[in-house]
Structure 1
Amino acid sequence: MKQRTGLTPHLGLRSVVLFGLAYMAPLIVLGTYGIVAESTNGTVPSAYLLALVAMLFTAASYGLMAARYPVAGSAYTYVRKAIDSRVGFLVGWAVLLDYFFLPMVIWLIGAAYLNAQFPSVPTWVWVVGFILTTTVLNILGIKVAAGANFVLMAFQILVIVFFFVLSLRQVVVDGGSLLSTTPFLHEGSSLTTISAGAALAAYAFLGFDAVTTLIEETHEPRKTIPRAILLTALIGGAIFVLLAYATQLVHPGSTFDDSSSAAFEIAKTIGGTLFGAVFLAGLVVAQFASGIAAQAGASRLMYAMGRDGVLPKRVFAYLHQRLETPIFGIALVGVVGLVALTLDVSTSTSFINFGAFTAFTFVNLSVIALYVRERGPVLTRLVFPAIGAVVDIWLLTNLDGIALTLGLIWLGIGVVYLAVLTRVFRTAPPEMTFED
C-alpha cells in the first residue's frame, strides 16, 4: 500500500480555536500564578497584559504567513520560505524546545497539583498517567482528540467562571474594592519586575501559534487559520488578565506557603474544601486538555520536518494508514515527557520560552522579508511585525540565565547538525515541494 504523504482536512474554525485554547489551557494562569506573582512582586495582571499586547503583534504575523503558506510546519516553514532554508531549519530546531518539551511542562504542572493534594502518591505516577492517556488519544486521530478537547474545555471554562465569581465575592466580604489599580501597579513593582513576569506569563500564550500546525487538517485554511490565531490569542488573553486581576484582588502581594500550588490554597480560601476539590479537578482537566493539544502540535511539527527530510524521514514523516496520525512523533513526545520527573516548574517553563520567543521573532522577520521583496501594506507588513520582533527579543532577554544558557546550547547542537546535513552549509537542507 502506498504511504500517505499528506494530512486530511477534518477541522473547522470552532475546532481549531478550541484546539488553540486547550493548548493554552486558560486555567494555566492559576497553575503558574504563584510563580508569576513572585516574579512581578504581586502585579500578575500587568504581566499578562504586557504579554497579550506583545503576542497580538506576533499573532498578526502568524496569520499572514499561514495564509501565504498553508502547509504544516508553522514557524519552521514560514522562515524557510520567506528568509532562508538554513535559517528556517535553525528556527525549527529552536522551536522544538517549545513544541517538543511543552507537553512535559504541562504534565509536570498537573502532577505538582495532584501531588500537593495526594502526597502519598508519587509524582511519577501522575506524570506517567498523563503521558499514557494523551498519547493514546492522539494516536487514535485528530477527530478523537478534538472531541475530547471540546468536553474538557467546557468543564475548564465552568471552573474558571466559578473561581472568578467566588474571588470577587470574597473581596466584597472582606470589605475590599472590586475596582483597584493595585493589582496592575504599586510601590513594590517596576517595569523590570513586570517584564520578567511577562517573560514567564508568555508561556501561557503558547497555543495561538500552535493552531498553524493543523493547517493541513483544516477546511479553507487560508481563511480559517488566520482568524483562529487572532481569536485564540484574544480570548485566551482576556481570560488570563481578568482571572489574574480577580486572584490578585483576593490575595494581594506575592507571599505563599508554596508558590507552585498557590492557586489551590486560594481556591480553598474562597470556596472551602469542596470548591478546592472542584478547582483541582478543573486544573487537572486543563492540563490534560493542554497536553493533548501540545502533543498533537509537536508531532505535526516533527512530521513537517521529517517530510522535508531534515529529520529522519522514515520515522517522522510516517503516517498510520487508517488513523492518519504521525504515531512515531506522538510516541516520542510521550517518552520525552518523562524528563519532567527531573525538573521544577519555574526552570522548565522559562526553558520552553527560549524556543517560543525565537520562533516568534523570526516569524515577524519573515513578514518583513516578504515586504522587502514584494512590498504591500506598510502597517501590517512592516510596522506591526517590527514591533512584534522587538518585543519578542525583549522578552527573550528577560528569561533567566539557565534558560538562555540551555537554549543556546540546544541551538549550538542544531548548528552542528545543520552543518552535517548541508555539507558545512554548502547546500540547502532538503525540502518537500507541494502543489498549491
Structure 2
Amino acid sequence: MPNYSSGPEAAPPARAASSIQPQQIKLKRVLGLPSLVFFGLVYMVPLTIFTTYGVVSASTGGRASLAYIITLAAMIFTAKSYASMVKVFPVAGSSYSYASKTFGPNIGFLAGWSLLLDYMLLPMVSYLVIGIYLNILFPAVPAWIFVVACILLVTVLNVVGISSVATASNLIVLVQFVFIAVFVVIAVGFVATGNHSVNLGAPFTGDGGANVTFSTLMAGAAVLCLSFLGFDAISTMAEEAKNPKKDIPRAIIIVTVGAGLLFLVLAYISQLVFPGTGFNDPVSAASEVMLKAGGDFLNIFFIAAYVAGATGSAITSQASVSRILYSMGRDGMLPRRIFGTLSARFKTPIIPIMLVSVISVLGVNADVNLLFSIVSFGALIAFSIVNLSVMKRYLWDEKRRSGKDVFLYGVLPGIGFLLTLWIWTSLAPNALTIGVIWLAAGLVYLLILTKGLRRKAPQVEFSETL
C-alpha cells in the first residue's frame, strides 16, 4: 500500500468510516489460484463469444475462427508481459501501476485513463445485454427494469466484499461450462447426422458469402479483443491475492490460453452448424445457431446461461474498475478523499463502486457494437503500454542483457506490442475518434493536475510487504 505521511497524530479510530485514515485500512488477501482463475474466466465470460460471433463471422465471410487465432496470438504475448510485470509490482492498478513505476506517473496516468475507458464501459455492455435477453423471455417487463435490478444486485455484492464476488463468480462460471458442454454435445451430434453438407475447413477458409480482405479479417480480430478482457483484470486483484507474485502470473497465462482455445473451438463448431454469412441478424446470431442445433430447449438454456455470465461480468468488471479508481485516488491522480479511501466496515472502495453503478445506467440506450470497439480501443492501448513496460523494466532498468533475457523481455513483448498496435489500427474509425477524444481529455486533465507538467505528478510508494 502507499505510504503517505500522516501529519499530526490522528484521534483514536471511531466506527465512522470518515475517521479512518486510508493507510489504516487494507484490502483483504483472500484469493488463491483457483479463485483468481475463476475471477478471470467470469470476467471474460466464456459465452461472450456469442456476443460478437455473429457480427465478426458475417464481416469476415465465416472466418471467425481464423480471426480468433490472430487475436489469441497477440493476447498470449501480452499476457506474458502482464505476468512479468506483476512479479515486480504485485499491486492493484494493472497497467496504470506498471506504467507509473516504469515510465513515470505522467505516462502511468494516461495508461490508467485508457484502461478506464474499457473498464467503465464493460459493465454497461453487460447490463444492456441482460436487459435485451431477459426482455425476450419476459416481454411484458421493460428491459430497463431488469437493468436497474441487476445494477442494484451487483453493487451490493461488490460493496459487501470480494469474497462474495468470488463465490458468485465460481457459481456463474460453472453454469456457463455446463451449458458449453451441452452445446458441444448437441452441436457435434447435429453435424454428425449428415443431414446437411459440412465443410470442415470453412471456419478458416470462409463459406464464400463475402469478399474478405486481410484488413477485414484484422478488423474482426480487433473486435474480438473484447472477448479476452479478463486476464488483465486478474492483475487488479494483486492486493487481495494470498500469493500475488506466484499465483497472479499463473492465473493470467491459464485464463488467456484456456479461454482462447475455448473461444476458438466454440466458433469453429458454431460455423459448422450454421454458415457465418447466412444469419438473418448477425447481432442475435447465437439464437439462430442454438435453434438450428438444438431447438427451443438449447436456445432457452443459452439465454439463461448467457444472462448469468453477463451478470458475472458486471460483478467482476465493476470490482476491477473500482480498484483502479481506488489505486489512482490513493496516489493523488484523482481526488484522494473521494477515490482513495476504503470502507472501515467492508474494506472495499464504496465511492468508486457507486460511481461505476451510476455510469452503468447509461447503458440502457447505448449502441452495443460501438461499445465493443471503444472497449477494445482502451484495452489495446493498455496492452501496448504493458508490453513496452516489460522491455523498459527488465532490459533498461535492470540491465538484463543475456540472450535468454533479451528473448524473454525484449523479443516476446516486442512482438506483443507490434501485434496489439496492428490490431488497434484496424478498429472502426468512429471508435478510434472517440478513443482519441478520451485520451485528449485525459491529457488536458493531466496538464491541469501538474500545472502544465511543471509539477511532478503524484507517484505510488509501494510497501515491501506486498
Tell me which interval the TM-score lies in, with the shorter structure as reference length: over 0.9
State the partner residue of 1:375. Answer: 399
**Partners of 1:223 and 1:185 in 2: how far apart?**
40
1:160 equivalent in structure 2: 180
Describe the superposition over 1:208-232 as per-residue Cα deviations: whole angstroms up to 9, x where unpaired: 0000000000011111111111011
Q: What SS is found at the alignment partner of 1:183?
A: helix
Q: Are residues 1:3 and 2:21 paired? A: yes
User: Could you tell which deviates more after superposition, 178-187 or 216-225?
Assistant: 178-187
Q: TM-score normalized by structure 1?
A: 0.97
Q: Which residue of 2 aligns with 1:343?
A: 366
| 1:233 match | 256
Among candidates 405, 415, 421, match of residue 393 of structure 1: 421
Asked if the contact 2:93–2:328 (Cα under 8 Å) also holds between the matched residues in 1, the reply is yes
**2:310 matches 1:287:** yes
Report the residue type matching 1:235 in the other structure. Answer: G
Give the deviation of 1:338 after TM superposition. 1.3
Shift of 1:281: 0.3
For residues 1-400 of structure 1, the aligned pairs below 5 Å read 1=13, 2-5=20-23, 6-175=26-195, 180-186=200-206, 187=208, 188-370=211-393, 371-376=395-400, 377-400=405-428
TM superposition shift of 1:36: 1.6
Residues 1:414 and 2:432 are matched in the alignment: no
Deviations 1:413-434 (CA, angstroms, capped at 9, x unpaired):
1011000100101122112312
Amino acid in the other structure paired with 2:86: A
Q: Is the 8 A contact 2:391 2:410 kept in 1?
A: yes
Task: Report the CA distance between 1:173 and its aligned residue.
Answer: 2.2
C-alpha displacement at 1:257, in angstroms?
2.3
| Equivalent residues of 1:260, 1:345 under 8 A apart | no
**Residue 101 of structure 2 contacts residue 460 of structure 2 at CA under 8 Å; is this kept in 1?**
no
Structure 1 residue 242 displacement after superposition: 0.5
For 1:211 and 1:143, locate their aligned partners in 2 and report how far apart those are by CA, in whole Å.
15
Describe the superposition over 1:184-213 as per-residue Cα deviations: whole angstroms up to 9, x where unpaired. 123544422221111011100000000000
Q: How many residues align?
A: 436
- Segments of structure 2 that go 5 or more residues without pairing to the other structure are 1-12, 14-19
Give 1:112 deviation, angstroms. 2.4
Q: In structure 2, do the counterparts of structure 1 residues 174 and 124 end up closer, same or farther at CA, with 3 Å as the change threshold?
A: farther
Q: For residues 257 and 419 of structure 1, do their structure 2 counterparts lie closer, same or farther at Cα, with a shift above 3 Å needed?
A: same
Which AA in structure 2 matches 1:373?
Answer: D
Amino acid at match of 2:124: M
SS of corresponding position for 1:184? helix
Question: How many angstroms apart in 2 are the aligned matches of 1:149 and 1:132?
Answer: 17
How far does residue 110 in structure 1 lie from its aligned partner after superposition?
2.5
Residue identity (%): 43
Q: 2-side partners of 1:158 and 1:129: how far apart?
A: 25
The alignment's C-alpha RMSD in Å is 1.5
Q: How much has 1:390 moved relative to structure 2? A: 0.6
Q: Do 1:168 and 1:178's aligned partners in 2 also have CA atoms closer than 8 Å?
A: no
**Is 112-121 or 8-17 further displaced after alignment?**
112-121
Equivalence for 2:459: 431
Q: How much does 1:372 deviate?
A: 2.2
Amino acid at match of 1:421: L
Of 110-119 and 418-427, the range deviating more from structure 2: 110-119
Structure 2: how far apart are the matches of 1:243 and 1:333? 32
User: What is the aligned partner in structure 1 of residue 16 from structure 2?
Assistant: none
User: Which SS does the other structure have where 1:320 is aligned?
Assistant: coil
